[in-house]
């Protein structure tokens, strides 16, 4: 089945120790998103890619970086995690190119990576 | 800028009964998409139902239906014959249909409890 995969599902890191979260998709969608979600809150968009074009949200801290080496993969790098960065990180994809394909302009989410910062 | 408001932080419904979750939004655009997403505890967020603003007919998906009132900028979700598996956070979301816009704007969510 086509899907959005996030690894690892659970990540524990130490305060200030860089960490990378990964996302891959088999949907061949052109847009990929990273969200931060804290308990019982709405997902907060960090950035998104339209193909290789990177779009950062104005309030995303510089501590958060992203890479998209190809259509299928996208990475979230947290350079110096703080206690406040402990959250669920959601990756999502969207097809915005092919209106006749199922799921046009819908978001498909991965299961998330829960980050703990000690 | 567009905003999405969910005024009910939490709702409860008896199993087999019907419940309606409210969502209002603000936009100056005429063409857009609206969505309801479901996020069960510790599980993946999935799409429940979508509505294109240009369509007057309300979307339905099995036990889920929406009441889309474009002039009032209201988009409520009705769940009929509620089941225990419907217990989750429900997020209303907006997406512009303008070319070059790919962001989704989420409401703060409604936690739905289903009572046996």
Task: Give tens-digit pLDDT for A64-111.
Answer: 999 999 999 999 999 999 999 999 999 999 988 777 777 788 899 999
What is the per-residue pLDDT for A100?
Answer: 72
Tokens at residue B52, please?
């294109």
Q: Does A106 touch chain B (CB under 8 A)?
A: yes
Spell out which residues of chain A touch residue B50, defining contact as CB-CB under 8 Å. 106
Mean pLDDT, rounded, of chain A: 93
Tell me the CA distances in angstroms from B68 to A104, B23, B31, B53, one per residue in order.
20, 10, 14, 8
Distance in angstroms (rounded) separating the CA atoms of residues A80 and B90: 32
Q: Which helix (H) or strand (E) holds B85?
A: none
Distance in angstroms (rounded) separating the CA atoms of residues A4 and A19: 20
Tokens at residue A80, please?
């110096």
Spell out which residues of chain A touch residue B43, defining contact as CB-CB under 8 Å. 111
Q: Higher model confidence: residue B18 or residue A39?
A: B18
What is the per-residue pLDDT for B27?
Answer: 95
What is the average per-residue pLDDT within B10-20? 98
What is the per-residue pLDDT for A50?
Answer: 93
Residue A94: closest CA among chain B residues belongs to which residue?
B102
Choose, out of B39, B54, B107, the residue to mutate when testing the contact with A (most A CBs < 10 Å).
Answer: B39
Residue A114: closest CA among chain B residues belongs to which residue?
B42
Residue A33: closest CA among chain B residues belongs to which residue?
B103
Q: Does B107 touch chain A (CB under 8 A)?
A: yes
Instruction: Give the model confidence (pLDDT) of B38-89 as tens digits.
Output: 999 888 999 999 999 999 899 999 999 999 999 999 999 999 999 999 999 9
What is the average per-residue pLDDT within B88-112? 92
């Amino acid at each position: 089945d086509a899907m959005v995969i996030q690894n690892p599902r659970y990540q524990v890191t130490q305060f200030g120790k860089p960490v990378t979260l990964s996302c891959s998709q088999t949907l061949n969608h052109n847009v990929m998103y990273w969200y931060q979600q804290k308990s019982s809150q709405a997902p907060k968009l960090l950035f998104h890619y339209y193909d290789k074009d990177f779009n950062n949200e104005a309030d995303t801290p510089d501590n958060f970086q992203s890479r998209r080496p190809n259509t299928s993969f996208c990475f979230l790098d947290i350079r110096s995690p703080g206690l406040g960065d402990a959250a669920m990180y959601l990756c999502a994809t969207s097809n915005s190119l092919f209106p006749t394909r199922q799921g046009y302009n819908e978001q498909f989410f991965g299961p998330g990576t829960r980050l703990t910062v000690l | 800028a567009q905003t999405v408001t969910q005024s009910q932080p939490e709702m409860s419904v008896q199993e087999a009964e019907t419940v309606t979750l409210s969502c209002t939004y603000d936009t100056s655009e005429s063409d857009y998409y609206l969505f309801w997403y479901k996020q069960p505890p510790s599980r993946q967020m999935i799409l429940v139902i979508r509505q294109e603003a240009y369509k007057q007919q309300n979307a339905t998906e099995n036990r889920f239906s929406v009441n889309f009132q474009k002039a009032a900028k209201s988009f409520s979700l009705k769940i009929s014959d509620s089941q225990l598996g419907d217990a989750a956070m429900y997020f209303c979301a907006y997406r512009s249909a303008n070319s070059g816009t790919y962001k989704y704007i989420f409401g703060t969510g409604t936690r739905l409890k289903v009572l046996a």
